[in-house]
Chain A
């Protein structure tokens, strides 16, 4: 079974600075998808960014980018120019690409604090 590990329970960054959240995963599959979800205090789950494992190019979405290292099974999230609204729990998630019916496998999350 696949597992997702987020080794940083909490991270703190100054507003306007850059922060990187770590994620490693374990799978025997070669074709899969990886995601970062944001969960603010409202509890709403919001997709931040996704990466297809077959793509070598790292995904970017405005201030959010990933460093995807397939051989190392690493998938970190970089947030540039941190804003107060970025404060939230961030979850790394994995999904096998074979139909996707298995649902997402989540890590335990990283609590991101933005210092003004």
Chain B
């Protein structure tokens, strides 16, 4: 199993550009999450999904959109990138919620200039 994979690893965007961060898991997990980690901070939840076709907002959803058309994929869309979105983005998945271990991807580092 590859676990949770994320692409790209690093990207530079210009202000106002858009992009999609890809996340795929091969563990047949129901729950998937997107977090962002700003310098010197812990991770904050952007969006989550409890299954295909079901998504909901986390703590910091503004400026982002998600979709979940399959169990495996959970892409994160950035529209009209802003410097405040410069961060490291982590995707995670777990079989269920609660005490279930969340498995994290390696992260995508995004720089908006």
B45 contacts chain A at the CB level, 8 A cutoff: yes
Shortest distance between the CB of B44 and any CB in chain A (Å): 7
Interface contact tally, CB-CB below 8 A: 67
The answer to whether A100 and B94 have CB atoms under 8 Å apart is yes
Interface of A is mostly: loop
B53 contacts chain A at the CB level, 8 A cutoff: no
A105: chain B residues within 8 A (beta carbon)? 45
Q: How large is the interface on A (under 10, 10 to 19, 20 to 34, 35 or more residues)?
A: 20 to 34
C-alpha spacing A51/B94, complex, angstroms: 17
C-alpha spacing A100/B93, complex, angstroms: 12
Contact pattern, A 82-116, Cβ under 8 Å of B = 1, otherwise 0: 00000000010101010111111111110000000
> Given the known A-B contacts A102-B58, A103-B33, are A33 and B101 also in contact in the complex, defined by CB atoms under 8 Å?
no
The answer to whether A101 and B48 have CB atoms under 8 Å apart is yes
The 3 closest A-B pairs by CB, nearest first: A100-B97, A106-B42, A103-B45
A45-B104, A91-B43, A101-B31 given; 8 more Cβ-contact pairs under 8 Å: A33-B98, A45-B90, A97-B98, A100-B100, A101-B97, A102-B45, A103-B33, A105-B45
